[in-house]
Structure 1
Amino acid sequence: MSDKVMDKQGRWRNKTVAFRVSPEEDAMLETAVRASGLTKQDYIIRRLQEKAIVVQGNPRVYKALKNEFQSILEELKRIEVGEQVNGDLIEVIMFLAEIMNGMKEETEWTKE
């Protein structure tokens, strides 16, 4: 039986929810979680509740973004000219671009 854990709103989190995903879905979920800086649990709950995922820049997030961009670069180098790019790779690139765009807007806002 899982331990009772109280969240920030004072609710007991003693229910376990589990589901299966494909290896590709797991990779995308892990990428999103690392880039968000949230725990996997918090990330999934926020997505289920359709709440905004606000990425707070910190060394762990920057390292995760750097590593993700490095793996994207390696994958793009691997693709031969004329070969189609994997749809999952496009989704990851769009997701990371959205994060970077949000970080850019936040930086511009704080400079004023």
Structure 2
Amino acid sequence: MSQKILDKKNRWRSLNVGFRMSPEEAKELNDRVKLCGMQKQDYLIQSALYQQITVRGHKAMYDEFRKHLQHIEKELIRIEKASEMEEELLTPLRTILEIISEVNKL
């Protein structure tokens, strides 16, 4: 019998949960995970169970913020009307604003 591998909180995570997503949903999920600086497993568990994400700021997170905000800035300069704005620009912007809002509560 193999030894159980416990997580940081001494829990044995023996179940595998899977689901299907569209390529667009998967991209949005991956963008959100990167912006939050968490492992995807922890992000999904916390999001599904608590519907709130706790953010721990670090350099990689701020680098992701900068990259997305620079892209958004370029698009905002390019567009002439709000109707021309692509939906995929709004997801990272919404996530960044949610994170900043939570940090301001601390």
When normalised by structure 1's length, the TM-score is 0.73
Q: Which residue number corresponds to residue 22 of structure 1?
A: 22
Higher relative contact order (CA closer than 8 Å, sequence separation 6+): 2
In the TM superposition, residue 41 of structure 1 has moved relative to its aligned partner by: 0.4
State, as a whole percentage, how many aligned pairs show the same letter.
32
In the TM superposition, residue 13 of structure 1 has moved relative to its aligned partner by: 1.5
CA distance in 1, matches of 2:35, 2:44: 13
CA distance in 2, matches of 1:23, 1:75: 22
In the TM superposition, residue 15 of structure 1 has moved relative to its aligned partner by: 1.9
Q: Which residue number corresponds to residue 56 of structure 2?
A: 56
In the TM superposition, residue 60 of structure 1 has moved relative to its aligned partner by: 1.3
CA distance in 2, matches of 1:19, 1:76: 35
Q: Which residue number corresponds to residue 84 of structure 2?
A: 84
Question: Any stretches of 5+ residues in structure 1 without a counterpart?
Answer: 107-112
Q: Which residue number corresponds to residue 99 of structure 1?
A: 99
- The 3 A distance-change label for structure 1 pair 5 and 36 is farther
CA distance in 1, matches of 2:52, 2:5: 23
CA distance in 1, matches of 2:9, 2:51: 16
Query: Aligned Cα RMSD in Å?
Result: 2.3
Q: What are the within-5 Å matches in structure 2 for residues 35-74 of structure 1?
A: 35-74=35-74
Query: Could you tell me whether the CA contact under 8 Å between 1:35 and 1:55 is conserved in 2?
Result: no
In the TM superposition, residue 46 of structure 1 has moved relative to its aligned partner by: 0.3
Question: Any stretches of 5+ residues in structure 2 without a counterpart?
Answer: none
CA distance in 2, matches of 1:71, 1:54: 25
- The 3 A distance-change label for structure 1 pair 11 and 71 is same
Aligned length: 103
Corresponding residue SS for 1:49: helix
In the TM superposition, residue 63 of structure 1 has moved relative to its aligned partner by: 1.1
Q: Which residue number corresponds to residue 110 of structure 1?
A: none
